[in-house]
Amino acid sequence: MVPHTLLIVAPALQLPIDLEKEVTVLDLPLPGRREIESVLDGIINANRNQIVVDLSKEDRERLLQAAQGLTLGEAENAFARAIASDGRLDARDIALVLDEKRQAIKKSGLLEFIDSSGSIDDIGGLENLKTWLHKRNGSWLPSAQEWSIPAPKGILITGVPGCGKSLTAKCMASLWGLPLVRMDVGRVFSGVVGSSEQNMRASLRLAEAVAPSILWIDEIEKGFGSGSGGDSGTSQRVFGTFLTWLQEKSEPVFVIATANKIDGLPPELLRKGRFDEIFFVDLPTVSELKVIWKIQLRQRLTASSKASGELTVDDRLLSKLAEHSNGFSGAEVAEAVVSACFEAYSERRPLTEEDLTRTINNTVPLSTTQSEQIKLIRDWASQRAVASTSTEDQDGLTTAGSEGDVASWRGGRRIDF
């Protein structure tokens, strides 16, 4: 018998069980830069007489990069739309194509482009984590290869709720100047959009297509932790796909995963060599609280000149607020500032120091209501994770409900980067 090769082409992978062992699956990547360039040239040539093309070499490069991550059909539509709007193709169309890409990615339902307008200076404290990120800025550039530096794989940030895990993910994208895409693990597994394995592969492929990029997996335990629901065989396989990719990926996609409940996470994920580092974000120390108050007040007060009035945000005020709110999370500080602003607004007068101290007194922080749980996460972290707070900011002051020695009480190993 003459041997035959059968090729099955399909947009979605759904193999009958009988065939699973017989076939080799080839995942076609999204079009690369050169393919997108030929679509662009095609469309320019076809409309040469009707349109004006005003693109510098650099604009052209940025336009191509903006379309990276789209299929050929989508790229063609995006370019056509850009041209049709005003009969021109110029630097202003880059935003339009990017917007088209955002929509296309959103439609997939698995990933979402996040606008990272925040700056790393919007994060108070966590100096150790920030230094680590600073040092790895630019590690995906060709120049890093001359130093034989391996591209960083990613980090896992875990810790007390409301202390800046998600905020860090958002701000690091602007620090590194890379696109940030968030994976919705719940949806990958939900089966609403497609099969879980296919969803995972599609998401990773998309993240690679926009590389260099940052893939943010928020609340990773919801997908990969024990008790995350779903069929355990499937979740094992999807998890396997992710781990293999994490270990072997060749595109510069940096993963930033955040988790609240770490005890449910599979040990394979935490093993050395998967993530570059596991960081623990604890309740802010008093020194860190000072900076967080400053940031939160600045954000609120510059947004509204009416609220600012006479309040002088100086060192004395910040020290007082920080001491007073010892045991608060960053989110609780943010919330306290908003409540204080409401107090002032209800009487149509500027914000005062008393408004702030009163809201602090009225807040019962999570560190009081959930001290047991926080202790558990800290115990876990002191063995396995690195403290995000720098040694310098460990100010030796205990937080509410503490028991003696801060160094042993606070979670995370002390390594300064």
Ligand X SMILES: Nc1ncnc2c1ncn2[C@@H]1O[C@H](COP(=O)(O)OP(=O)(O)OP(=O)(O)O)[C@@H](O)[C@H]1O
* Sites of contact with Mg ion (CB under 5 A): 165-166
Judged by beta carbon distances under 5 to 8 A according to partner kind, the member of Mg ion, ligand X, none in contact with residue 183 is none
In 3-state terms, what secondary structure has residue 89? Answer: strand
The CA distance from 98 to 284, in Å, is 37
Q: In sequence order, what are the beta bridge partners of 159?
A: 281
Q: Find, among 44, 48, 46, the residue nearest to 64 by Cα.
A: 44
- Quick one: 405 or 416, whose CB is closer to ligand X? 416
Judged by beta carbon distances under 5 to 8 A according to partner kind, the member of ligand X, Mg ion, none in contact with residue 200 is none
Pairing mode of beta strands 52-54, 111-114: unpaired
- Quick one: 166 or 196, whose CB is closer to ligand X? 166
Judged by beta carbon distances under 5 to 8 A according to partner kind, the member of Mg ion, ligand X, none in contact with residue 163 is ligand X
- Quick one: 166 or 296, whose CB is closer to Mg ion? 166
DSSP symbols for 217-283: ETTTHHHHSTT--S-HHHHHHHHHHHHHHHHH--S-EEEEEEES--TTS-HHHHSBTTBSEEEEE-S
Element (H, E) at 302: helix 286-303
Minimum distance between the CB of residue 330 and Mg ion, rounded to whole angstroms? 11
Q: Which residues contact 370 (CB under 8 A, 6 or more apart)?
A: none
Minimum distance between the CB of residue 199 and ligand X, rounded to whole angstroms? 23
Minimum distance between the CB of residue 257 and ligand X, rounded to whole angstroms? 12
* Closest CB to ligand X: residue number: 330
Minimum distance between the CB of residue 283 and ligand X, rounded to whole angstroms? 10
- In the DSSP assignment, the letter for residue 68 is B
Report the C-alpha dihedral over residues 275, 202, 144, 169, rounded to 10 degrees: -60
Minimum distance between the CB of residue 161 and ligand X, rounded to whole angstroms? 4
Judged by beta carbon distances under 5 to 8 A according to partner kind, the member of ligand X, Mg ion, none in contact with residue 161 is ligand X
Judged by beta carbon distances under 5 to 8 A according to partner kind, the member of ligand X, Mg ion, none in contact with residue 114 is none
Phi then psi dihedrals of residue 111, to 5 deg: -120, 155
- Quick one: 97 or 163, whose CB is closer to Mg ion? 163
Binding residues (CB under 6 A) for ligand X: these are 123-126, 161-167, 260, 292, 295, 330-331, 334
Q: Find, among 124, 159, 174, the residue nearest to 330 by Cα.
A: 124
- Quick one: 83 or 123, whose CB is closer to ligand X? 123
- Quick one: 69 or 162, whose CB is closer to ligand X? 162
Minimum distance between the CB of residue 154 and ligand X, rounded to whole angstroms? 17
Judged by beta carbon distances under 5 to 8 A according to partner kind, the member of Mg ion, ligand X, none in contact with residue 387 is none
DSSP symbols for 103-157: HHHHHHTSEEEE-----GGGS-S-HHHHHHHHHTTTTTSHHHHHTTPPPP-EEEE
- Quick one: 128 or 260, whose CB is closer to ligand X? 260
Minimum distance between the CB of residue 158 and Mg ion, rounded to whole angstroms? 11
Minimum distance between the CB of residue 188 and ligand X, rounded to whole angstroms? 18
Judged by beta carbon distances under 5 to 8 A according to partner kind, the member of ligand X, Mg ion, none in contact with residue 292 is ligand X
- Quick one: 40 or 172, whose CB is closer to Mg ion? 172
The CA distance from 355 to 341, in Å, is 8
* Closest CB to Mg ion: residue number: 166
Instruction: Answer whether the bond into residue 29 is a cis peptide, omega within 30°.
Output: no
Q: Find, among 64, 67, 40, 59, the residue nearest to 51 by Cα.
A: 40
Judged by beta carbon distances under 5 to 8 A according to partner kind, the member of ligand X, Mg ion, none in contact with residue 125 is ligand X
Judged by beta carbon distances under 5 to 8 A according to partner kind, the member of Mg ion, ligand X, none in contact with residue 223 is none
Pairing mode of beta strands 154-159, 277-281: parallel
- Quick one: 97 or 292, whose CB is closer to ligand X? 292
Minimum distance between the CB of residue 331 and ligand X, rounded to whole angstroms? 4
